[in-house]
A = this chain, B = another copy of it.
Amino acid sequence: MGKDFPAVVISEVGPRDGLQAVSAIMPTAAKLRWIDALVASGIREIEVASFVPARILPQMADAHVVVRHALTHPGVTVMALVPNSRGATAALEAGVHKITIPVSASAAHSMANVRKTREEMVEEVRSIVQLCRDFHLGVKVEAGISTAFGCTLQGNVPESDVVSLAEQVVAAGVDECGLSDTTGMANPAQVRRLFNLVRTSIGDKTGAAHMHNTRGLGLANCLAAYDVGVRTFDSSLGGLGGCPYAPGASGNVVTEDLVFMFESMGISTGIDIAVLIEARKALQDGLPNEPLYGMTLEAGLPKGWLSNRGQHD
């Protein structure tokens, strides 16, 4: 375990998506220890912060410090979320390897989340790509299509809107376009259908699956995405977080459970699940009053886990 070249990338979003969803503010030193603990487990992609004004998200006021610290870990892709060019400029100055931009497929969610239309967000994406090309060659840009599987504000989101938006952000120059079940409305059949449709349109620029566990389908939806070729999965340690702008949405996929699913299937994540479970301590120390989740932890690893795992190595 951890020795193979990973077959899937587990992209940890807790330090951004998780922290953004809770009202408590984690001290910077605790964030750094948490990130160190995640890296120690073998996690190699972390969304460490979002670059937004501190008056809007005081939890992220130390984003540049967190990025600079994360950059000290060799081999780790340091990501940040940015909603616009101003945020991208700050993230790029801090030195991130990868930028992710949320683009809502739901018109209503787009206005609620970033106060821009979908078309205006595509223009932001285009500007950010240009910024990278002009001044930060090598930095990757990802668009994450939020509410891709449904929206708590507008309800159904047409699949043609998602495919069209994927085509537009690729035309705007992104390296990857992922699909997010921001509101926990996805089902496995839809996940397979929509990722297949998007892949037909944008090919290998099809990016990560960001699933939620709102109605218990998080892992089933990740499995469905894996089945149709997705190899990068967003999740958060202890299931911290959700989207605060989508009423009723809750519950990121729990990283520990996701890693357990893939490793038990013999699909290498490069992550040592025992060390990953240890990383919860660093998270809980920084947010002592926040509930954490995880069924693998509650049940314990199955008897014979380590010896069986040895067979894959």
List 22 contacting pairs A-B, 8 Å CB cutoff, sorted by A: A150-B302, A150-B303, A151-B303, A152-B302, A153-B303, A155-B307, A155-B308, A184-B302, A185-B303, A187-B265, A188-B261, A189-B265, A189-B266, A214-B295, A215-B295, A215-B299, A216-B257, A217-B260, A220-B222, A220-B223, A223-B224, A251-B299
- Cβ of A110 within 8 Å of any chain B Cβ, yes or no, is no
Identify which of B187, B214, B227, B296 contacts A261 (C-beta below 8 A). B187
User: How far, in whole Å, are A33 and B264 apart by their CA atoms in the complex?
Assistant: 40
The residue of chain B having its C-beta at the shortest distance from the C-beta of A191 within the complex is: B265
User: How far, in whole Å, are A307 and B150 apart by their CA atoms in the complex?
Assistant: 13
Instruction: Give how many copies assemble into the complex.
Output: 2
* CB–CB A250/B304 < 8 A: no
Contact partners of A41 in chain B: CB under 8 A: none
User: How far, in whole Å, are A223 and B294 apart by their CA atoms in the complex?
Assistant: 20
* CB–CB B188/A300 < 8 A: no
Given contacts A187-B261, A187-B265, A261-B188, contact A248 B299 (CB under 8 A): yes
The residue of chain B having its C-beta at the shortest distance from the C-beta of A227 within the complex is: B227
- Cβ of A232 within 8 Å of any chain B Cβ, yes or no, is no
Smallest CB–CB gap between A178 and chain B, Å?
20
**Which chain A residues in 41-91 approach chain B with CB under 8 Å?**
none
The residue of chain B having its C-beta at the shortest distance from the C-beta of A188 within the complex is: B223
**Which chain A residues in 177-233 approach chain B with CB under 8 Å?**
183-185, 187-190, 213-217, 219-220, 222-224, 227
